[in-house]
């Protein structure tokens, strides 16, 4: 075939429907591949975030256990000075005051709205 021949002259008229059919098939295959890739990426992200969430949960449980141990230690230390009942009351009272202050500041932060 000469190089100066137009592209339209090199394509047989009956092959145009075949090319359109092939184009549609290729487009469908590309779409399926993109969907499969997106699913794989989503599975990978879920697996990664699941592992991170498990680590955060374990860290939270261990932190809570450490806080409980600290409070028990405070009660035992104060018990030698003021007795076990008063020591328990004092430690629980302080913890409840801290919890109330945190709840009030959280409530006021919600009232202030976003960005405050």
Closest by alpha carbon to 91, among 101, 77, 104, 80? 77
Residue 5 resides in a domain: no
> How much of the chain is in helix, strand and coil states, percent to nearest 5?
85, 0, 15
Listed in sequence order, the residues at least 6 apart from 74 whose beta carbon sits closer than 8 Å to its beta carbon are 87, 91
Range of the domain at 35: 11-112
In-domain check, residue 6: no
Asked whether residue 23 is assigned to any structural domain, the reply reads yes
Instruction: Answer whether 101's CB lies under 8 Å from 93's CB.
Output: no
Q: Is residue 55 part of a domain?
A: yes
Q: What is the pLDDT of residue 7?
A: 62
Residue 3: inside a domain, yes or no? no
Q: Is the pTM of this model over 0.85?
A: no
- Asked whether residue 80 is domain-assigned, the answer is yes
Specify if 49 maps to a domain: yes
* Domains contained in the chain, number: 1
- Is 57 among the domain residues? yes
What phi-psi label fits residue 113: left (phi over 0), alpha (psi between -120 and 50 degrees) or beta?
left
Per-residue pLDDT of the chain in tens (116 residues, 90 and over written 9): 555 556 666 666 668 888 888 889 999 999 999 999 999 999 988 888 998 999 999 999 999 999 999 999 999 999 999 999 999 999 999 999 999 999 999 998 888 777 65
């Amino acid at each position: 075939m000469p190089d100066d021949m137009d592209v339209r002259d090199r394509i047989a008229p009956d092959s145009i429907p075949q090319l359109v059919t092939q184009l549609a098939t290729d487009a469908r295959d590309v779409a399926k591949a993109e969907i499969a890739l997106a699913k794989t990426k989503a599975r990978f992200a879920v697996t990664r975030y699941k592992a991170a969430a498990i680590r955060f949960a374990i860290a939270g449980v261990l932190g809570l256990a450490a806080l409980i141990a600290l409070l028990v230690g405070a009660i035992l230390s104060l018990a030698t000075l003021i007795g076990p009942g008063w020591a328990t009351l004092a430690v629980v009272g302080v913890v409840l005051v801290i919890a109330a202050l945190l709840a009030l500041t959280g409530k006021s932060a919600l009232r202030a709205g976003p960005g405050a």
